[in-house]
Amino acid sequence: MNNHENNVVIIGGGPAGSALGCYLSKAGIKNTIYEAANHPRDHVGESMVMSSVRVFDEIGFLPVMEREGFVRKYGASWHPPIAKGEAAIAFNEFPQESIRQDYTYHVDRKKFDLLLLKHAESLGTKVYQGIGATKVLFDENNYARGIQIKVAGQELEVPARMVVDASGRNTLLGKQLKVKKTDPIFDQFAVHAWFENVDKSQVDSSEYIHIYFLPVQRGWAWQIPITHEVTSMGIVAEKEVFKGAKLGPGEYFDKYVASNPDLAHAMRDARRVNEFKMEGDYSYKMDTFAGNGFVLIGDAARFVDPIFSSGVSVALYSAKYSSERIVEAFKSDDFSEANLKPYEVKLRSGIDIWYEFIRLYYKLLPLFTHFISSKEHRVEVLRLLQGEVFDRREVPVLDAMRKFIKIVETTPNHVFAGQLSDIPID
């Protein structure tokens, strides 16, 4: 290997790429991040799950999170679609091993992403902002050997022993290898903005994440405190619902705010402080997360519906698990797909559990609160919500949800008949 060659090139400086840079630098492996944007940059996805705290601790980032004063997130709350009420769950009901606090965080992603990227740099990762990769280069043996970047109108090659695609929803390598598959079930669409004066006085759990069920197919709204004064609010439904409404983003947003009593109350004096944004193309997956000389991490590997704020957690754990295999690859000098594949197997098992949970959740929607309130299943639901599960056998609540759905569907005149959504679960 040439001395000037980067050991690992990471495409993208979002949470996945930055966390991987931290892990690799701590392991003594040289790595360079090429980030197409210049931070700070806009990004939706402002709420963390508890399992993220473990990664922050491992990479030495937890003191930064505390120093910066991000809003602490102690739990989650759900509100019914046509009546006032709340079903809440606190993270301290299920303490996690090796996590020494009972809260995670809500964040301004502009600030959070930049801090994490700078933290990677402080540990030894080289960072180039405003320089994006245009493609991954492969040798005659079909091993990734570097990337092509564009600088001042010129295409340049950057050699590497290994390439990591952390390009997020741009999915550079997934598109290049034609392994990206759009999800056949989820086609969600979000309209969101930040607001001041959101009324949180109706609940004790004011700084939880709040989910409001909407009286429309697969519809829900989020409420996430970005600071103690500013709150992110978003309306989510099927893309066809947005198209069929034939309304502008603001009118559409207002229509569905008014459709939920608790949400309408919370927003009655709210004042918008930035422009409405729209997000689509929610769910997709790659046929492979690992190959000869490369891995895909974070949103570049898989993106599932964000209703449980799982995106950053998946990104962080994909960095953690991929770093373990990359370190092993350098020790054994074996960068083959076979040697890197255990990372994919581990991450995919966790994401598949998230995906199944989300499908069952969308099938149940308001009926999901039955499982939050259940003494038998409450802790299992909490484990899922905290992102703590990578083994399907550890969450029998998923089978309980399936059984509950089957009973509702097959019992004549069941009290919940007609309340299940049309989403397929098999």
Q: What is the CATH number of the domain that holds 316?
A: 3.50.50.60
What pLDDT sits at residue 204?
Answer: 64
Question: Are 194 and 260 in the same domain?
Answer: yes
User: Which of 306, 335, 351 is the last residue before a domain boundary?
Assistant: 351
d(CA 65, CA 147) in angstroms, rounded, equals 32
List b or e across 67-88, with b for residues whose CB sees 16 or more CB atoms inside 10 angstroms.
eeebbebbbbbbbbbeeeebbb
Residue 382 in domain: no
Q: Are 29 and 8 in contact (CB under 8 A)?
A: yes
Residue 273 belongs to what domain range?
Answer: 188-279
Q: Mean pLDDT, to the nearest integer, of 156-178? A: 96
pLDDT tens for each residue of 244-269: 999 999 999 999 999 999 999 999 99
User: Which of 326, 351, 376 is the last residue before a domain boundary?
Assistant: 351
Question: Are 124 and 244 in the same domain?
Answer: no
**Phi, psi of 379, deg, nearest 5:** -65, -35
Question: Are 37 and 145 in the same domain?
Answer: yes
What pLDDT sits at residue 203?
Answer: 58
Task: Give the number of other Cβ atoms within 10 Å of residue 396's Cβ.
Answer: 12
Q: Is 39 exposed, middle or buried (0-12, 13-18, 19+ CB in 10 A)?
A: buried
Dihedral of CA atoms 293, 299, 304, 306 in degrees, nearest 10, equals 160
- Which one-letter amino acid corresponds to residue 97? E
Residue 412 in domain: no
CATH number at residue 228: 3.30.9.100
Residue 104 has pLDDT above 70, yes or no: yes
Q: Are 357 and 349 in contact (CB under 8 A)?
A: no
For the chain, the helix, strand and coil percentages under 3-state DSSP, each to the nearest 5: 40, 25, 35
What pLDDT sits at residue 325?
Answer: 98
Number of domains in the chain: 2
Percent of the chain with pLDDT over 70: 98
Q: Are 266 and 225 in contact (CB under 8 A)?
A: no
Percent of the chain with pLDDT over 90: 70
